[in-house]
Structure 1
Amino acid sequence: MPNRFTPPSPICPCLSLIETIQHFLFNCSSKHTALSGYVEPDFNQFNDFAHMHSQLIRSPSSPYPALSTSEVFARILQAIWSSHYRSIFECTSFNPHHIPAIIHSDLYKLNSQETIISFIREKMDTSRNTHYSSYPYQQSTRTQDAAPPTKEIYQYDAPWLTYALDWCKTPIEQKSFRLAVGSFIEDSNNKLQIISRTDLLDSHSQIDQRNDFTPVAEADSYYPITKVLWEPRKNDSRNSDLLATTGDILRIWELVDDPRHGQSNSINSSSRSNNSNNHSMQQLVKKAELVNMKQSDFCAPLTSFDWNETDPSLIVTSSIDTTCTVWNVETNQAKTQLIAHDSDVYDVAFMHGSADTFASVGADGSVRLFDLRSLEHSTILYEAQPTPNTRVGNNASVPLLRLQFSRMNSNLLATFHMDSAVVQILDIRHPSAPVAELSKSHSGSINCLSWSPTESGQIATGGDDSQVLVWNINQGFNDNRSYQNSQQRYNHQPPRSVQDPLLAYVADAEVNSLTWSKSAPEWIGVGFGKTVQALRV
Structure 2
Amino acid sequence: MSLQMQLGDGKPTNFEDNSSPSSEVFTYQAPWPVYSFNFSNHPSYPFQLALGSFIEDTDNSVQIIQLHPEMGRFEVKTTIPHTYAPTKIMWIPDLEGSHPHLMATSSDHLRIWRSDESGVNVLANLVNNRHTDYCGPITSFDWNANDLTMIGTASIDSTCTIWDIERQAMRKQILTHTKEVNDIAFGHDSNTFASVGADGSVRRFDLRSLEQCTILYESQGYVPLLRLAWNKIDPNYIAIIMMDSPLVTVLDVRSPGMPLAILQSHQNFVNAISWAPNSSCYICTAGDDRQALIWDLRRSLGEIREPMMVYGAEAEIISLSWSVLQPNWVAIAYNKSLQLLKL
TM > 0.5:
yes
Note closer, same or farther for the CA distance 1:212–1:236 as it changes in structure 2 (3 Å cut): closer
Contact 1:162/1:530 (8 A) holds in 2:
yes
Deviation at 1:455, TM superposition (A): 2.4
Contact 2:32/2:54 (8 A) holds in 1:
yes
The correspondence for 1:223, drawn from 81, 84, 87, is: 84
List runs of 5+ in structure 1 lacking aligned partners: 1-73, 92-148, 201-208, 259-282, 387-396, 477-494
Structure showing the higher helix proportion among its residues: 1
Contact 2:42/2:97 (8 A) holds in 1:
no
Contact 1:320/1:343 (8 A) holds in 2:
yes
Deviation at 1:292, TM superposition (A): 1.1
Contact 2:293/2:308 (8 A) holds in 1:
yes
1:455-506 CA distance string (max 9 Å, x none)? 2210001100110000111112xxxxxxxxxxxxxxxxxx711110011111
- The question of 1:379 aligning with 2:185 is answered no
2:10 maps to: 84
CA distance, structure 2, for counterparts of residue 362 and residue 168 of structure 1: 28
2:39 maps to: 167
TM-score in terms of structure 1 length? 0.60
Note closer, same or farther for the CA distance 1:79–1:197 as it changes in structure 2 (3 Å cut): closer
Note closer, same or farther for the CA distance 1:221–1:195 as it changes in structure 2 (3 Å cut): same
Aligned pairs for 1:315-394 within 5 A: 315-351=151-187, 353-386=188-221
Contact 1:167/1:230 (8 A) holds in 2:
yes
Contact 2:202/2:217 (8 A) holds in 1:
yes
Contact 1:328/1:334 (8 A) holds in 2:
yes
2:231 maps to: 406
1:438 maps to: 263
- The question of 1:183 aligning with 2:53 is answered yes
Note closer, same or farther for the CA distance 1:474–1:218 as it changes in structure 2 (3 Å cut): same
Deviation at 1:237, TM superposition (A): 4.9
Note closer, same or farther for the CA distance 1:82–1:364 as it changes in structure 2 (3 Å cut): same
Instruction: State percent identity of aligned pairs.
Output: 42
Contact 2:42/2:96 (8 A) holds in 1:
no
RMSD between aligned residues = 2.2
Note closer, same or farther for the CA distance 1:81–1:164 as it changes in structure 2 (3 Å cut): closer
1:484 maps to: none
CA distance, structure 1, for counterparts of residue 12 and residue 247 of structure 2: 26
The residue identity in structure 1 corresponding to 2:30 is A
1:330-358 CA distance string (max 9 Å, x none)? 1111110010000000000001x210100
Structure showing the higher strand proportion among its residues: 2
Counterpart secondary structure, 2:123: strand
CA distance, structure 1, for counterparts of residue 97 and residue 26 of structure 2: 31
The residue identity in structure 2 corresponding to 1:198 is H
- The question of 1:257 aligning with 2:81 is answered no
1:83-120 CA distance string (max 9 Å, x none)? 42796x979xxxxxxxxxxxxxxxxxxxxxxxxxxxxx
CA distance, structure 2, for counterparts of residue 187 and residue 414 of structure 1: 32
Contact 1:360/1:403 (8 A) holds in 2:
yes
1:194 maps to: 64
The residue identity in structure 2 corresponding to 1:254 is R
List runs of 5+ in structure 2 lacking aligned partners: none
Note closer, same or farther for the CA distance 1:369–1:511 as it changes in structure 2 (3 Å cut): same
Contact 1:241/1:254 (8 A) holds in 2:
yes
Contact 1:80/1:86 (8 A) holds in 2:
no
2:321 maps to: 515
Note closer, same or farther for the CA distance 1:323–1:90 as it changes in structure 2 (3 Å cut): closer
Contact 1:314/1:329 (8 A) holds in 2:
yes
- The question of 1:292 aligning with 2:218 is answered no
1:443-462 CA distance string (max 9 Å, x none)? 10000011101122100011
CA distance, structure 2, for counterparts of residue 161 and residue 212 of structure 1: 20
CA distance, structure 1, for counterparts of residue 111 and residue 200 of structure 2: 28
Note closer, same or farther for the CA distance 1:403–1:237 as it changes in structure 2 (3 Å cut): closer
Note closer, same or farther for the CA distance 1:327–1:385 as it changes in structure 2 (3 Å cut): same
Note closer, same or farther for the CA distance 1:298–1:84 as it changes in structure 2 (3 Å cut): same
Q: Which stretches of structure 1, 4 residues or longer, exceed 3 Å deviation after superposition?
A: 78-83, 234-238
The residue identity in structure 2 corresponding to 1:536 is K
Contact 2:10/2:308 (8 A) holds in 1:
no
The residue identity in structure 1 corresponding to 2:145 is E
Note closer, same or farther for the CA distance 1:334–1:83 as it changes in structure 2 (3 Å cut): closer
Q: Which has the higher contact order (CA 8 A, sep 6+)?
A: 2
1:3 maps to: none
Contact 1:349/1:403 (8 A) holds in 2:
yes
CA distance, structure 1, for counterparts of residue 257 and residue 52 of structure 2: 35
Larger gyration radius, structure 1 or structure 2: 1
1:282-338 CA distance string (max 9 Å, x none)? x21011011113222211110000001111111000000000000111111111001
Counterpart secondary structure, 2:318: strand
- The question of 1:450 aligning with 2:274 is answered yes
Moved more, 451-460 or 313-322: 451-460
